[in-house]
Structure 1
Amino acid sequence: MLNIPKLIIVCCAVLSLRCVQATSPPQFLKDINGYRSACKSIGWEPKQDCAVYNVVAFHANLNSHLNNLDPNTTIKFENVQLNKGNGYDPNTGIFTAPEDGVYSFAWSFLSKVGGTVYLAAVIENADHAHTCIGNQQSSYISASGHLLYELKEGNKVWLRTWHVPATFIHSGYYSYFSGSKINSL
């Protein structure tokens, strides 16, 4: 009679011993397929194949300085460095979730002497995080923010000014907006 728990322990031991040995890429793939076949023969199936995971990630920064923006102005980060999944639209400044999942968003901005900037991270027209620089007195200063949030396909995320007019936001790599899906639901 087949003892499944002992067979699983033996398979795991063999796998761990094989993992420490150096193999060529073709041999490694052959070995992995063999292990998958062995696991399948005892009824074990993985929950999700790593090969079907879709990468969703974007990173964009400003092309030019922004001056005297009214409150509730969406910031458009036009210089797109990365846009896997095509969720970010530089024409609108809005990220639209291409699929359900937990997402991580980060942003940073730089202002100069006398600068005042209040930014809100917005999801579906509701503020979820605020960052600000108020009446900056040194040469330059930056502020940054981070937000983790569970999104459904089609949910929209963007950064906008709030509270008071934004007097100056520096362009280039100093001011950016980025996000990525970190987990599927």
Structure 2
Amino acid sequence: MHSVVFAVGLGAIFGTISTEKISPGPSLKSFRDDYDNVAKTCEAVGYVKNYCKYNQFKRNIVIAFYAQAKGSTQTLRERQTVMFQDVNLNIGGGYNATKGFFNAPKSGVYVFEWTILTPQNKYAYTSLVLNGKRKAYSYCHNNNHSLRSSCSKMTVVKMVVGDKAWIDNNSRSLTSVSAEYSSFSGFML
């Protein structure tokens, strides 16, 4: 009889232990369920739109590019685009090396910089063009005809999605650009 009572007593003890939670803390599943509920609630009430849907990187997209001209000298007629085909950086995918322009993937304020090196005895009149309108100018020429001349220009413009920016020749005569040291870059603030 003692063995029956002992067995019933052990069964009661082990039965009680197996039905109770071993850890007083929440499980990983309950944590995930709670997080999903908070995210859904956040989204439903419109609190910080898209904050719960998308992570920080997707919301604050980095947009930047840097491209260099390649080959030898480019001789450009009026309004012809300076081509910067050697792309070293294109975060956000806005720069099109085939056409030589930057297409804004996001609305905002952008900083552009370009450097032009002229061949000996040549000059370069260049501009930053935004949607067909010139916004900034650079004149690169030196009086010592045996030297090359390097000129840089930086400008800041406001763009909306789909706006295009590029560098062109703003002279009515031919402009020459030495490819190996000429570059175009930009980024969104």
Under TM normalisation by the shorter chain, which class is it?
Answer: 0.5 to 0.7
Question: After the TM superposition, which residues 33-182 of structure 1 pair with which residues of structure 2 at under 5 Å, given as runs?
Answer: 50-51=56-57, 52-134=59-141, 136-137=143-144, 138-172=146-180, 174-182=181-189
Task: State the structure with more CA Rg.
Answer: 2
Structure 1 residues 78-122: Cα deviation after superposition (integer angstroms, max 9, x where no partner): 000000111000010010000111100000011132111100100
AA in 1 matched with 2:156: L
Task: Give me the TM-score of the superposition, normalised by structure 2.
Answer: 0.66
CA change 1:110–1:53 in 2 (3 A) is same
Task: Give me the TM-score of the superposition, normalised by structure 1.
Answer: 0.68
SS in 2 for 1:171: strand
Partner of 2:23: none
Task: Point out where structure 1 has 5 or more consecutive residues left out of the alignment.
Answer: 1-44
Work out the CA distance in 2 between the residues paired with 1:130 and 1:66. 20
The 8 Å contact of residues 169 and 175 in structure 2, kept in 1 or not, is answered as no
**Displaced runs of 4+ in structure 1, greater than 6 A?**
45-49
- Give 1 or 2: higher strand fraction: 1
Work out the CA distance in 2 between the residues paired with 1:120 and 1:97. 18
Is 110-119 or 121-130 further displaced after alignment?
A: 110-119
Work out the CA distance in 2 between the residues paired with 1:168 and 1:116. 6
Work out the CA distance in 2 between the residues paired with 1:166 and 1:135. 16
CA change 1:92–1:130 in 2 (3 A) is same
The 8 Å contact of residues 95 and 101 in structure 2, kept in 1 or not, is answered as yes
Q: In percent, how many aligned pairs have the same letter?
A: 29
